[in-house]
Amino acid sequence: MVESADIIVVGAGVVGSALAYTLGKDGRRVHVVERDLSEPDRIVGELLQPGGYLRLVELGLEDCVNEIDAQRVFGYALYKDGKSTKLPYPLENFHRDVAGRSFHHGRFIQRMREKPSSLPNVRLEQGTVTSLLEEKGTVKGCSINSKVVI
């Protein structure tokens, strides 16, 4: 079976999902291949710094931190020898929604995967890339399990 796409993205983590969404919004036909589309289940929390949140806003992905129990983070607190101090992020020149975010990694990944999947020209598929198809030194496609995407 041969399918056609303008772009093939291998991996639907943070970067692959953001890339697929951005290219899909630009009108490209994007095929995303991810080895496992289930929610990552590991004991990992994430701390997205305010600059990272601003990049999500820039890409139209800021809603990916909604409905995943993300907590707004405004800086750090340091504790040593019974003393403490606060180190706030310098956010005074930004919109009040700008802050860091702390959340469960797997929930965030699933929300990131939903964004490109919501576009009609983006296809997300679970599979394993088994080989690359090259023509004159340029990758033109790949084989996924027993299927070819060009």
Q: Which CATH number does the domain housing residue 41 bear? A: 3.50.50.60
Count of domains for the chain: 1
pTM surpassing 0.85?
yes
When pLDDT is averaged across residues 55-66 and rounded to a whole number, the result is: 97
Q: Pick from 10, 8, 2, 38: which is nearest to 24 by CA?
A: 8
pLDDT at 30 over 90: yes
Domain span at residue 23 reads 2-149
pLDDT at 7 over 80: yes
When pLDDT is averaged across residues 6-22 and rounded to a whole number, the result is: 97
pLDDT at 147 over 90: no
| Cα–Cα dist 119/29, whole Å | 10
Torsions phi, psi of 72, nearest 5? -70, 140
DSSP the chain: -EE--SEEEE--SHHHHHHHHHHHHTT--EEEEES--SPP-SS-EEEE-HHHHHHHHHHT-GGGGTTTT-EEE-EEEEEETTEEEEEE---TTS-TT--EEEEEHHHHHHHHHHHHHTSTTEEEEE--EEEEEEETTEEEEEEETTEEE-
Please list, in sequence order, all residues whose beta carbon lies within 8 angstroms of the beta carbon of residue 15, skipping any fewer than 6 positions away: none
Torsions phi, psi of 92, nearest 5? -60, -25
